[in-house]
Amino acid sequence: MNRIAVALLAALEALIALAIGLGIAVVPLTILWASHFGLGIDWVVFWHAAVDVWLLGNGVDLTVQLPQATAAALALPGAEQPFELTIALLGFAVLAVLFGYRAGLRASATGLRLLGCSVAIAVYGVLAIAAALGSGHEVVNPNTLQSLVLPVGVYSLGVLIGSEVGEARLDGGSRMLSRWLRAEAWPTVVRDGVVAALRGGTAASAGVLALSALLVTVLLAANYTTVVGLYETLQAGIMGGVSLTVLQLALLPNAVIWAASWLVGPGFAIGVGTSVSPGGTVLGPVPGLPLLGALPQGQPAFGFVGLLVPVLLGFLCGMMLRQRMSPGVRRGILAVLATGAGVGIVAGIELGLLAWWSAGAAGPGRLVEVGPQPWLVAGLAAAEIGVAAVLGLLSGGRRGAL
């Protein structure tokens, strides 16, 4: 494939990625504009709202100044003053990363990796900046610097990951970490320990997230009637219900990360002074979002069982990692301890960063604190998974490979 074709394909993929990301917010609001408001309001208002939602989904902070009449109708303490929305709707970010990942894979497959990745990132960045610069208005103002950096940064992350994975596949195996840790620059014991820690920590955190997604699914199914009842209470109509559903789908990755924080131990908050953790749920008035109908109530009878999840995953990762480690690492007690601690640190950093990204302010007053405390999540995850990984490395034989 020649350079022009690679560049055009990369540009097209970037255009489609941005169009779908924005379209998820634009289409429901446009239909709402036509069906509910009868085209009587300037469509630009809904375009601005869609871009604001998309920016928020990419981690951009929004400053909101509601009109006095609207603030009075909401009856929320602090709504009459400017307030910030900083909680990312991570569904949009996940979508951007996936599209970027695909673009990176394609760029690597063409043999013109640098050209394909550069064009994809540049086109996406130009279009994202153009959309962001035209989004500010008197009610909602995005953070300008974040608007210019974060959307393209999220997409670029996916592109870089995809290109690295594509290169590893072309090399004939999953030796991406080995290429980064050159043999001539690292002693064998150190290199093997670092690779094992990165691989094991990532596997443990991925396992926690997978089980968290399963937990969210079970809770939604178990509390189906409550969720439906909240939909009926809101009386949003067909298109309002569709828009509300899109919003909740964008929040599902947040919910999965919050469930992971619950399994690790600290849990999360839905407002100042609230707590949802294995020790019990303490809530005051919460927004009537149907998704929140799945929150556990009271003190779970077997909540402590959830705390075993990261411990068991850390132990299993340690056992499976042992087979992949060189004899020099397996035989040295200090090397085993350092590797197990590294597994915990990697998992703690990854889960802590996700917790930080999933939390923020969801409105004025009590809603300035929503989500988990990232430092607590990171610290407890590192301790639980790290100690368990050390035990797994010490007890693991030839029972499997990661």
User: Residue for token digits 């929320």?
Assistant: 76
* DSSP output for 4-25: HHHHHHHHHHHHHHHHHHHHHH
Sort 202 into a burial class: Cβ within 10 Å, 0-12 / 13-18 / 19+.
middle
Instruction: For CA atoms 209, 215, 221, 227, give the dihedral sign.
Output: negative
Residues 6+ positions from 364 with CB-CB distance below 8 Å: 76, 77, 78, 79, 81, 83
In angstroms, the CA 315 to CA 393 distance is: 8
Structure tokens at 226: 């409550």
User: What is the length of the chain?
Assistant: 402
CA 147 to chain centre: 18
Cβ-contact 360, 370 below 8 angstroms: yes
Backbone angles phi, psi at 40, to 5 degrees: -80, -10
Residue 395 CB coordination number (10 Å): 12
* Tens digit of each residue's pLDDT (9 = 90 or more) over 240-299: 778 788 889 999 999 999 999 999 999 999 988 889 988 888 887 777 788 888 888 777
Task: Please list, residue by residue across 158-190, b when 16 or more beta carbons sit within 10 angstroms of its beta carbon and e when fewer do.
Answer: bbebbbbbbbbeeeeeeeeeeeeeeeeeeeebe
* DSSP output for 138-205: SSEEE-HHHHHHHHHHHHHHHHHHHHHHHHHHHTTSS-HHHHHS-TTTS-HHHHHHHHHHHHHHHHHH
Cβ-contact 397, 375 below 8 angstroms: no
* DSSP output for 141-157: EE-HHHHHHHHHHHHHH
CA 206 to chain centre: 12
List the chain domain ranges.
3-180, 186-402
Please indicate, yes or no, whether the overall pTM of this predicted structure exceeds 0.85: yes
Cβ-contact 208, 263 below 8 angstroms: yes
Q: How far is CA 76 from CA 57, 66, 285, 338, 364, in A?
A: 23, 11, 11, 51, 7
Rg (CA), the chain: 23
**Running DSSP on this structure, what letter comes out for residue 286?**
-
Structure tokens at 114: 């640098």
CA 100 to chain centre: 15
Residue 73 CB coordination number (10 Å): 11
Q: For residue 6, give the nearest of 104, 127, 125 by alpha carbon.
A: 104
* Tens digit of each residue's pLDDT (9 = 90 or more) over 170-191: 665 545 555 555 555 566 677 7
Helix (H, G, I), strand (E, B) or coil at 64: strand
Structure tokens at 250: 């964008």
The per-residue pLDDT string of the chain (402 residues; one tens digit each, 9 = 90 and over) reads 688 999 999 999 999 999 999 999 998 888 888 877 777 788 888 888 899 999 999 999 999 887 777 666 666 666 778 888 999 999 999 999 999 999 999 998 888 889 999 999 999 999 999 999 877 677 888 999 999 999 999 999 999 999 988 887 766 554 555 555 555 556 667 777 788 889 899 999 999 999 999 999 999 998 888 888 888 887 767 777 787 888 899 999 999 999 999 999 999 999 888 899 888 888 877 777 888 888 887 777 667 788 899 999 999 998 888 877 766 666 678 878 888 999 999 999 999 999 999 999 988 888 889 999 999 999 999 999 999 999 998 885 544 444
Residue 77 CB coordination number (10 Å): 11
In angstroms, the CA 42 to CA 16 distance is: 26
Helix H or strand E encompassing 371: strand 370-371
Greatest extent of the chain over all pairs of C-alpha atoms, in Å: 75
